[in-house]
Amino acid sequence: MSTLHLLFFLLVIAYLGGFLVGGRGTRSGGLPSGSEWLVLGYLLGPAALGTLGGQDIATLTPVAIVAIGWVALLAGLTYGTDGARRVPPGRIVLGASVALLPGAAVAATTWIVLARFPGASAVVPGAHDRLVAALGTGAVLSGTTHRAVAWAVSRLGARGALTELVGDVSQAGAIVPVLAAEAIIGADRSRGVAAMPGAGIGLGALLGLLTALLLGREMRKPWLWALLFGVSLFATGVAEQLDVSTVAALFSLGLFAALASPLRGAIRQLPAELEGAIVFPLLFIAGARVSLPGVAVLWATGAALAARIAGSLAGGFLVSLAAPAARREGPALGLALAAAGPLQVTVATAFRIRYPGPAGELIVLAAAAAAVAGEFIGPPALRRALRRAGELPASPPAAAGESAAEVIP
Amino acid sequence: MSGHSRPKTPLERLAEAAALAALLGIMLAVARLSPAVPVAWQRGGRDIAAVGFFLLAGTLASNLLEVLRLPHLTGYLLAGIVVGPYVLHAVDHDTVADLSVVNSLALSLIALAGGAELRLDSLRRGLRSLGVATLVQNGLALVLVPLVFVLARPIIPFAREMDWAPLLAVALLWGVVAITRSPSAVMGILSQTRPQGPLTDFAVGFVMTSDVVVVVLMALVVTTVRPLLDPTATVSLAAFLELGHEILGSIAIGTTLGLALAAYLRFVGRQILLVLLVIGLVLVEVISYLHFEWLLTFLTAGFVVQNLSRQGDRLLHSVERTGEVVYVIFFATAGAHLDLPLVGRLWLAAVLLFAARAGTALVGSRLSGRFAADSPALRRWGWAPLVPQAGLSLGIASKIAGEFPAFGPQFGALAVAAVALNEMAGPVLFKIALDRAGETGAAHPATGRGPEPTPPARPGAALPS
């Protein structure tokens, strides 16, 4: 496929994405996590049909990096909020803890499989690569996607205390993969660049405050667009050059800009207009980057998914202990938190680009598998839990996008 | 770009200056930390950072230059020059070359907007002005500018040793470069100031149609002078056959595209940004592959949407919204491209040729204004939109340089130097002209003068105000 065909194809996906995602990030069609685009990318990619070659994917790397930055920026801008409502600090702590459980379980399991099973060790031979693979897989398999909750709200008309709780917990968990990416990439010196842990967060915070300062108090839409585009591209490029986590830098940029600017409502809403046009091509590119470095890696991926389910069940148990609204559900609520979405796939793609070897391949494979498996586990479990809690209406709302569902990648 | 509703306070200006300095500091620090030749994984990051920086620095610089009443475009260009490879070197040559991909996108938007600005009723009323100006301006430029070139022979290094026949040929080729205008600069200024009036209508009409005129005249001059440069060469009309095919084909494709765009805007009307991206990034390549002139194609498409449908204003609005971001990057990249050391080496010849070209435009404007009985504003300021030059001029110069390798590189270098002056001074002159002609609605505290009076319209005489 020529670069021109590829570019056209991506623009078509972006075009369709723009139609499928409403102005506030709610889906009017397709699967809750958008995994169909991931699968399409895989099918057309070098590992399956080969319509897209390795060179095509390399050509797309800058596009993928920019898309990764934009998704992370959106996540940062909306972090800690649900529409106009602020997520209470207690729930942010609970959500981060719940996300940490599957992440830790996955990292430990992956490390054990890679270290102890000769077949897996042969695919990821170096200790450094193994560590990156284990921690990276843990990072991308931590947390859940808020999209599943947004989907339940917009498509099924879910309303109530449990819906709000699950929404808050899933939203708050987004910080775990971001911080993990910052820690892993920032501390890595394998490229000969000095380790700068925390530099991505610092860069993002500085540029976020600068953005808020430049935005001022008066809403000027063209200026807002230029500023957000410019500062996000600048931060992305600088983070890449310094070899710090782009995801962390842009997340931090969004978070600080939203915290410091009096126009936080507008800067949360406007960039979301481009969400579908950016997320779906990114999922497609991520799918095309999925490959299988060795059959043994399938075992590692399977073990990681199992650990994720176990960690999620533990997380569900923790939520049911901490929040009265979830007490009746118990650990089973964890299954409702097992969906993985664009943010997880975005972080995985960032790892895949940063670590082009088997470690990156394992991470993106695990994220893709979790996203696809999550479509079958998360939304049905969530629906069951919400139905039991009496938070689903008898008939779903007719129009998607009318709801107040939050914009969460 | 900034489009604010109230004047900015000194504190806000200070904050913008501080932000610009901070961004520049980060950019320079990262450039110093990174190796001179970036490793593969850093290249993409360098390009992405440069795009973001150009967008931010260009916008901030243009906001700061508002105080001096300079056009935004000058701010974008200056930002590019300062951080580019010839001054601070925060952005290197390779990155500037990589960013050229944005050129086709920006120019396609400019052509679409330019076509959509050509309203049939305005054109009809100003046909006489446009026709006379096209004849007089191009005729004069093809006589006076080559004459100055010949007279300036002692200060033009590569022309010093030439015999008279080749010298005349090269001078005529220089005349072709001189008749190129800058649709991008004109549309950039119009997009900022949103003026209305006869000068605006004239500027859009003249500059947009000049693309076709230049292409035809270049083929004519190149064919004519070839025997003067190469005694074994003969005059061949084959080039005109190819040219005719190119122009008619471009208009045909442009008409089809325009009708399709109008239908899309009418019946779908969503995701226009992505449609414009497909046009600017993908369709450009397809049309180039088919050997058609994509600028003319998009110009025609914009014209068709404006005049054969009711979607013209909608198209213009969408292009303007996209252009607000794309133009900044385009002009900042153009600024970074400016080879300042080269301008320094050839400055005397470049200044002389710049002055000759601007002077010719001024004389031409007075003459054509008299012949066509233009309004005083147009007679006085009609030369100003013809001064800016940019990428199109360099493209034509580069084509000529490629056709005649014996002196091509030196010819191209002189063109870069002269176009640089036109690129910097032209937009400033055009904005001043629009302000003074009273078409931007801006007051003139310096002069205290209001808009120049427009005489009562005479049928077929002048462009309407």
Which of B3, B34, B47 has the CB atom closest to A222's CB atom? B3
- Residues in chain B within 8 Å Cβ distance of A223: 1-4, 59
**Position B5 confidence tier, pLDDT thresholds 50, 70, 90:** low
Of A46, A76, A73, the closest CA to residue A59 belongs to A46
Query: Which pLDDT value is given to residue B93?
Result: 86
- Residues in chain A within 8 Å Cβ distance of B12: 216
Which of A7, A220, A233 has the CB atom closest to B2's CB atom? A220
A405 has a pLDDT exceeding 60: no
Domain B102-436 fold: Na+/H+ antiporter like fold (1.20.1530)
Q: What is the mean pLDDT of residues A62-69?
A: 90
> Are B33 and A242 within 8 A, CB to CB?
yes
Query: Which pLDDT value is given to residue A9?
Result: 77
How far is Cα A43 from Cα A51, in angstroms, rounded to an integer?
Answer: 8
Query: Which pLDDT value is given to residue A400?
Result: 45
Q: What is the mean pLDDT of residues A147-168?
A: 81
Structure tokens at B10: 């000194």
When comparing pLDDT for A266 and B156, which is higher? Answer: B156
**Position A28 confidence tier, pLDDT thresholds 50, 70, 90:** low
B457 has a pLDDT exceeding 60: no
| Any domain includes A323 | yes
When comparing pLDDT for A50 and A247, which is higher? Answer: A247
| Any domain includes A10 | no
How far is Cα A30 from Cα A40, in angstroms, rounded to an integer?
Answer: 13
**Position A30 confidence tier, pLDDT thresholds 50, 70, 90:** low
Q: What is the mean pLDDT of residues B427-436?
A: 92
pLDDT digits (tens, 9 = 90+) for A308-356: 999 989 988 888 888 787 777 788 888 888 778 788 889 999 999 998 8
CA distance A232 to chain B (A): 7
CB burial of B247-256 (b: ≥16 within 10 Å; e: otherwise) equals: bebbbebbbe
- Residues in chain A within 8 Å Cβ distance of B194: none
- Residues in chain A within 8 Å Cβ distance of B16: 214
Of A359-363, B193-197, B240-244, B448-452, minimum mean pLDDT range:
B448-452
- Residues in chain A within 8 Å Cβ distance of B321: 222
How far is Cα B460 from Cα B128, in angstroms, rounded to an integer?
Answer: 7
Q: Number of structural domains, chain A? A: 1
Helix (H, G, I), strand (E, B) or coil at A23: coil
The proportion of chain A whose per-residue pLDDT surpasses 70, expressed as a percent, equals 92
pLDDT digits (tens, 9 = 90+) for B322-372: 877 888 888 888 888 878 888 888 889 999 999 999 999 999 999 999 998
B256 has a pLDDT exceeding 50: yes
Which of B42, B52, B271 has the CB atom closest to A231's CB atom? B52
pLDDT digits (tens, 9 = 90+) for B67-101: 887 888 888 888 998 988 888 888 888 888 888 77
Asked if A117 is an interface residue toward chain B (Cβ–Cβ < 8 A), one would say no
B404 has a pLDDT exceeding 60: yes
How far is Cα B249 from Cα A286, in angstroms, rounded to an integer?
Answer: 40
What size, in residues, is chain A? 409
Of A280, A283, A292, the closest CA to residue A346 belongs to A283
B463 has a pLDDT exceeding 70: no
Query: Which pLDDT value is given to residue B246?
Result: 84
Q: What is the mean pLDDT of residues B378-396?
A: 85
What size, in residues, is chain B? 465
**Residue A30: DSSP 8-state:** S
A403 has a pLDDT exceeding 60: no
Q: Which residue of B has its CA nearest to A219?
A: B4
CA distance B269 to chain A (A): 12
Query: Which pLDDT value is given to residue A20?
Result: 66
Q: What are phi and psi of A21, to 5 degrees?
A: -105, 130
Beta bridge partners of A85: A82
CB pairs under 8 A between A and B: 131
- Residues in chain B within 8 Å Cβ distance of A208: none
Q: What is the mean pLDDT of residues A382-409?
A: 62
H helices of A191-263, where?
199-215, 221-242, 246-260
A120, A299 contact by CB (below 8 A)? yes
> Are A225 and B15 within 8 A, CB to CB?
no
Asked if A222 is an interface residue toward chain B (Cβ–Cβ < 8 A), one would say yes
- The mean of the pLDDT values for chain A is 83
∠ CA B230-B231-B233, rounded to 5°: 70
A26 has a pLDDT exceeding 70: no
Helix (H) or strand (E) holding A174: none
**Position A258 confidence tier, pLDDT thresholds 50, 70, 90:** very high
Of A30-34, A251-255, B130-134, B164-168, minimum mean pLDDT range:
A30-34
Which of A19, A240, A243 has the CB atom closest to B271's CB atom? A19
When comparing pLDDT for B1 and B352, which is higher? Answer: B352
pTM above 0.90, yes or no: no
| Any domain includes A266 | yes
CB neighbour class for B382 (10 Å; exposed up to 12, middle 13-18, buried from 19) = buried
> Are A4 and B22 within 8 A, CB to CB?
no
Query: Which pLDDT value is given to residue B358?
Result: 94
Asked if A195 is an interface residue toward chain B (Cβ–Cβ < 8 A), one would say no
Q: What is the mean pLDDT of residues B102-115?
A: 83
Helix (H, G, I), strand (E, B) or coil at A81: strand
Domain extent at residue A330: 32-388
Of A264-278, B335-349, B423-437, minimum mean pLDDT range:
A264-278
How far is Cα A144 from Cα A158, in angstroms, rounded to an integer?
Answer: 18
When comparing pLDDT for B115 and B18, which is higher? Answer: B18
Residue whose structure tokens are 């729930």: A91
CA distance B332 to chain A (A): 13
Q: What is the mean pLDDT of residues A267-282?
A: 80
- The mean of the pLDDT values for chain B is 83
Query: Which pLDDT value is given to residue A397?
Result: 61
Q: Which amino acid is at B349?
A: A
- Residues in chain B within 8 Å Cβ distance of A238: 26-27, 30, 45, 49
Residue B375 Rama label (left phi>0; alpha psi -120 to 50; beta): beta
pLDDT digits (tens, 9 = 90+) for A360-374: 889 999 999 998 888
- Residues in chain A within 8 Å Cβ distance of B50: 237
**Position B57 confidence tier, pLDDT thresholds 50, 70, 90:** very high
Of A339, A406, A333, the closest CA to residue A154 belongs to A406
The proportion of chain B whose per-residue pLDDT surpasses 90, expressed as a percent, equals 29
Number of other residues whose CB lies within 10 A of the CB of residue A116: 9
When comparing pLDDT for A69 and B400, which is higher? Answer: A69
CATH number, domain at A200? Answer: 1.20.1530
When comparing pLDDT for B23 and B188, which is higher? Answer: B23
CA distance A401 to chain B (A): 16
Query: Which pLDDT value is given to residue B442?
Result: 54
> Are A223 and B2 within 8 A, CB to CB?
yes
A408 has a pLDDT exceeding 50: no
Number of other residues whose CB lies within 10 A of the CB of residue B93: 13
Interface of A with B in 128-147 (CB under 8 A): none
How far is Cα A217 from Cα A332, in angstroms, rounded to an integer?
Answer: 46
CA distance B52 to chain A (A): 4
Residue whose structure tokens are 């139609």: A19
Q: Which residue of B has its CA nearest to A216?
A: B12
> Are B5 and A218 within 8 A, CB to CB?
yes
Q: Which residue of B has its CA nearest to A14?
A: B274
How far is Cα A239 from Cα A221, in angstroms, rounded to an integer?
Answer: 27
B453 has a pLDDT exceeding 50: no
Which of A216, A229, A240 has the CB atom closest to B325's CB atom? A229
Of A92-106, A226-240, B216-230, minimum mean pLDDT range:
B216-230
The proportion of chain B whose per-residue pLDDT surpasses 70, expressed as a percent, equals 92
